[in-house]
C-alpha cells in the first residue's frame, strides 16, 4: 500500500522504539518523514534507516520553548503536515513513598505539558484532513503498582483526544489515541529500575497478557498508520487499545 504518497508526516521521538518503527513504515508507504528526538547521534542513525527523504530535527519535548522552535523550523523548511504521531514520552516507575517532585515534574512536563504545546504550535501547519495520533498507554486503565505518576500523565494525554478533537474538527483535523500494552522497546531500559527488577517485572507482566508475549514496535506502528490514514476517516476522539488483551480479559 502507498497510503501516504505525497504526504508529509511528523513522528516525535522517532529515533527509537515505536516511533522509529512507525517512521520506517510511513516512509515505506510513500511519506516524507520528519522525526524529532533529543539525541543527535540516534537521530542520524534513524534517518539512515528510514530513508533519504527524511528530515531529522533535534527537539526536547520536555522544554516548553522547543514546541515553538520546532514549528518555526518546519515553517522555514516550507513543511506542512498531513499526520503527526505524538510519540515522545518518558516512563519512570516508583512506589508512592519514593516519588518526589522532580519525577512528577519531569513526567508531566514531557508527557502532558510538552505534548499539549507541541500540538498547539503545530496546528497552523496541519493540512485539512490531517490526523493526530497520540501515544497513550494501558497504564492509564489498569492500576499497575508503582505507575501512578506515569499512568496519570497518560490519562491526561488520552483526555486530549476528545477535547482537542472538538476544537480541531472544524479545521478538518482528527485526533485519536493508540494505547499500547507491554511492548518490547528501549523505553523499558529507562524506567529507573535495576536489571533484576526489570526482569522480574517483565515476567510478571507477561503472565498477565492473554497472548502470552510482549507486542512489537512494528505491530504498534501498523496500528498508528491505520489511525492516521484515510482508512480511519470516520474515527474521531477514540482510544484504540493494543495490548494483547491485557486490559480486556
Give me the residue spans of the domains in the chain: 8-242
- Whole-angstrom CA distances from 227 to 1, 11, 36, 223 are 15, 14, 20, 6
Q: How many helices (H) and strands (E) does the chain have?
A: 9, 7
CATH number attached to the domain at 8-242: 3.40.50.720
What dihedral do alpha carbons 138, 145, 38, 226 form, nearest 10°? -10
pLDDT tens per residue, range 203-216: 777 767 766 678 89
Looking at every residue in the chain, the average pLDDT score rounds to 92
Inter-residue contact 242 to 181 (CB < 8 Å) = yes
Active site residues: 150
18: cell is 515505536
pTM of the full structure: 0.91
Mean pLDDT by runs of 10 across the 249 residues of the chain is 96 96 98 97 97 95 95 98 97 94 97 98 98 96 92 97 96 97 66 64 70 85 98 97 78
Amino acid at each position: 500500500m502507498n497510503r501516504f504518497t505525497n504526504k508529509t508526516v511528523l513522528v516525535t521521538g522517532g529515533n527509537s522504539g515505536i516511533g522509529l518503527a512507525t517512521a520506517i513504515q510511513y516512509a515505506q508507504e510513500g511519506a516524507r518523514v520528519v522525526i524529532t528526538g533529543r539525541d543527535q547521534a540516534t537521530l542520524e542513525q534513524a534517518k539512515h534507516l528510514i530513508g533519504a527523504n527524511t528530515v531529522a530535527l533535534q527537539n526536547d519535548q520536555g522544554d516548553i520553548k522547543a514546541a515553538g522552535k520546532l514549528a518555526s523550523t518546519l515553517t522555514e523548511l516550507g513543511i506542512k503536515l498531513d499526520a503527526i504521531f505524538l510519540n515522545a514520552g518518558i516512563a519512570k516507575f516508583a512506589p508512592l513513598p519514593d516519588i518526589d517532585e522532580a519525577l512528577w515534574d519531569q513526567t508531566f512536563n514531557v508527557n502532558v505539558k510538552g505534548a499539549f504545546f507541541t500540538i498547539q504550535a503545530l496546528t497552523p501547519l496541519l493540512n485539512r484532513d490531517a490526523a493526530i495520533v497520540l501515544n497513550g498507554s494501558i497504564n492509564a486503565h489498569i492500576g499497575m503498582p508503582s505507575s501512578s505518576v506515569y499512568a496519570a500523565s497518560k490519562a491526561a494525554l488520552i483526555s486530549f483526544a476528545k477535547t482537542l478533537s472538538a476544537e480541531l474538527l472544524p479545521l478538518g483535523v482528527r485526533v485519536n489515541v493508540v494505547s499500547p500494552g507491554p511492548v518490547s522497546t528501549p523505553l523499558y531500559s529507562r524506567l529507573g529500575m535495576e536489571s533484576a527488577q526489570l526482569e522480574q517485572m517483565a515476567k510478571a507482566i507477561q503472565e498477565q497478557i492473554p497472548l502470552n508475549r510482549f507486542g512489537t514496535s512494528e505491530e504498534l506502528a501498523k496500528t498508528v498508520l491505520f489511525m492516521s490514514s484515510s482508512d480511519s476517516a470516520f474515527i474521531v476522539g477514540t482510544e484504540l487499545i493494543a495490548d494483547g488483551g491485557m486490559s480486556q480479559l
